[in-house]
Structure 1
């Protein structure tokens, strides 16, 4: 499959042409040094794949996240002064109900007599510029119109203290000048490390509201120490007395809001947040197979995970000093698109083994490298370029060829849309046999080709 030279997809920066009318390399703009891989196609025929779905009954689901957020805020012990300017954070990608939760917070604060406004809490994202972060918030749906209040952004910070090792603790200058700050973030296992406090309210306070300077200074100590640095930095900012609490969003295994909980200031980076982290970990979606030869990921991006692909799902961390996951064990990963919401930031691309050449057009190296450099040790291996092959079919064939599976009839290959939806898959015949013997998996469709005649990934169709 995918070996017909008469129907190739457009080359990066060029046009799709047949073998007979293909221009010389010098007349092929956009390929540059990758001209050498034009026409390089591993031998082999890809197996057909069949859709399966993991059954997950009784998932906790919050059907009214706006209402749940307003009810949760009723637990806030702080009495707000009339006219108090309260900064509300927004910034994490991939949160399904971010807009209604932020809107609920704005409406609740205004009803309490305050004057709320939104501040981006995004560390170095958006190219480490205020305008870039406003644009990213708009891409997440957070605009003055959607949340009902102004959005104020800056990359300036004030230093509010130091960690024990002398690392300065930076805090967004606009948030620091406000009368109070309400944090909003999803609580979930981190993609780089594990500990009492991972991804959540403490992180958005220490890293997100630390802006570029704060994010870079905390990451500079290396990933093994990052969890403790986030916790200590967050507690340092809380000690300033302006954090009025946080709204923690928990999501279930199919990316739906499971709960919205209020955390008082003294629980941020402490036992209350840790308890929510334990709940979030138990709800997280994972691949239904512990061992794969090849995982085909349609799309990665910052709206899927801070690392483009969630390390907890693919079983790869690839950070110096951090142990690798025991499972899943995946021999080779091909990734085929970068999401539009990533705005070219291909952070985490190095965790893939093979990509199609067309994906190169989507990558903004400046945004990607700013993110990698800010991440310190977290960006070293993850910012590398995978093997580049001509199209989707060649990329998957390359992954299969390098997976170590001699007999392709036994190939354990699965395709997912992204790491937010690992419960829906297209699987090869060897995995289909296993799926048929498991009570937690159902076969939801018929076999179809993995790639089409043009060398592109085939449509998911009815699954």
Structure 2
């Protein structure tokens, strides 16, 4: 690429008295094609998978079954959890729901109820109790003396049924990442358990911790079975799988391979600036999925293990469902004042410190307008004229089916037969306040 002095376009629509007069890149909308397997009927899939486990042989009439419900924005989670409730009731069992979360919801029982309510999971909609408490009991310890915490409501139940989405974790690497085992440890461990496990992982590994902790939790909490959820690249339920408790490790590893295959991807590896319309806990544990943005091993630089290399990230806002939890904002280098103003710093810091990831709560360079943030970001990508910068705008890391890319990617488009260019190259679209238009309709 030939480099030239920064152009001075007197009549450019991208001029700004605050940031100097130069031309920003032109953008076009692309549509990506991904695999799209999908469960056509979530309730039917839940009944199908749980029936195959023959739970009627394990649940006696009148026995209680605690069902885990986490804080992630799992597609159709209200329908799935209600399906589990109704299946248990069909066996004359007495189901109730546990908010199985570590520090989410501000690490309070009320806050975690509010998180579930935001997903449509309430006693009225589910037809059963939700028992929320941060109280745990220590049921054992690891070889290194790490106490094993389990939610007291779970321990009081006759059985526990673990429900969670299985997907690549934003920090852990291995045959088991985010899924049933994480729910056994971090979810059922609540804030106390999540804190000690994350502290232990800093000097050990998630694999070593789950191998020691999971069998004890399964035994002491009388875990009945699991229900694993795998999503496709369009944030839809691709697969629901009933998992016998004795096959948790084997089956979860198999489902993780599927989840990785279905994971959406950015279409190009080398990116100067990624503009993210929204981040949030309902999008990813780190607000934006580090598997997507290439910051899994280092908050601010790609490593050889990452699939994508992004020099700068600009976050434009938080999702409504994250309730001010801006965990992961520190992975970005740039943001705007309105995003900073919407952050609940206490909740964000509790979450990041619990996860032993304090840098995830750090506030990036912040500007009054999106135009200013973009202009300042493009000053830091190296000696490249702004209009030749490789820029991508996405809604969030769950929705990559449509995205905006800059004209510098034009030569690479011909190499991708799974990408359709939907519009011509056009100037970046700002509103009257110099803020970008959202890529897609919000929540």
1:143 equivalent in alignment to 2:145: no
Q: 1:344 aligns with which of 314, 324, 342?
A: 324
- TM-score, length of structure 2 as denominator length: 0.91
**What CA RMSD, in Å, does the superposition of the two structures yield over aligned residues?**
2.0
Residues 5-31 of structure 1 deviation map (CA, whole Å, 9 limit, x = unaligned): 7xxxxxxxxxxxxxxxxxxxxxxxxxx
- Range with greater deviation from structure 2 (418-427 or 233-242): 233-242
Counterpart position of 2:391: 413
List runs of 5+ in structure 1 lacking aligned partners: 6-38
Counterpart position of 2:28: 50
Contact 2:161 2:226 (C-alpha < 8 Å) held by counterparts:
yes
Alpha carbons of 1:364 and 1:43: their partners in 2 closer, same or farther (altered >3 Å)? farther
**1:406 CA drift (Å):** 1.6
1:195 equivalent in alignment to 2:174: yes
Counterpart position of 2:40: 63
**1:182 CA drift (Å):** 0.6
Contact 2:201 2:209 (C-alpha < 8 Å) held by counterparts:
no
**1:461 CA drift (Å):** 7.2
Alpha carbons of 1:319 and 1:233: their partners in 2 closer, same or farther (altered >3 Å)? farther
CA distance in 2, matches of 1:275, 1:437: 31
Counterpart position of 2:5: none
Query: Which residues of 2 match residues 109-120 of structure 1 at below 5 A?
Result: 109-120=88-99
1:261 equivalent in alignment to 2:238: no
- Range with greater deviation from structure 2 (218-227 or 112-121): 218-227
Counterpart position of 1:357: 337
Alpha carbons of 1:399 and 1:42: their partners in 2 closer, same or farther (altered >3 Å)? farther
CA distance in 1, matches of 2:383, 2:260: 32
Q: Does the residue aligned with 1:153 lie in a helix, a strand or coil?
A: coil
CA distance in 2, matches of 1:349, 1:138: 24
**1:273 CA drift (Å):** 1.2
- Range with greater deviation from structure 2 (400-409 or 214-223): 400-409
Q: Does the residue aligned with 2:325 lie in a helix, a strand or coil?
A: coil
Residues 144-201 of structure 1 deviation map (CA, whole Å, 9 limit, x = unaligned): 1222211110000011111111000100000110111111100001000211211001
Q: Does the residue aligned with 1:246 lie in a helix, a strand or coil?
A: strand
Counterpart position of 1:210: 189
Task: List 4+ stretches of structure 1 deviating above 4 A.
Answer: 1-5
1:429 equivalent in alignment to 2:407: yes
**1:432 CA drift (Å):** 3.2
Contact 1:449 1:458 (C-alpha < 8 Å) held by counterparts:
no
**1:405 CA drift (Å):** 4.5
Q: Does the residue aligned with 2:47 lie in a helix, a strand or coil?
A: helix
Contact 2:228 2:242 (C-alpha < 8 Å) held by counterparts:
yes
Contact 2:28 2:421 (C-alpha < 8 Å) held by counterparts:
yes
List runs of 5+ in structure 2 lacking aligned partners: 1-12
CA distance in 2, matches of 1:290, 1:192: 20
Residues 315-358 of structure 1 deviation map (CA, whole Å, 9 limit, x = unaligned): 002559x9943320001110000111111111111110100111
Counterpart position of 1:107: 86
**1:140 CA drift (Å):** 1.6
Alpha carbons of 1:149 and 1:448: their partners in 2 closer, same or farther (altered >3 Å)? farther
Query: Which residues of 2 match residues 277-288 of structure 1 at below 5 A?
Result: 277-288=256-267
Contact 2:166 2:179 (C-alpha < 8 Å) held by counterparts:
yes
CA distance in 2, matches of 1:460, 1:417: 6
Counterpart position of 1:161: 140
Residues 259-306 of structure 1 deviation map (CA, whole Å, 9 limit, x = unaligned): 1001111122x1121111111111111111111011100000001001
Counterpart position of 2:307: 327
**1:43 CA drift (Å):** 5.2
Give the total of aligned pairs: 423
Q: Does the residue aligned with 1:133 lie in a helix, a strand or coil?
A: helix
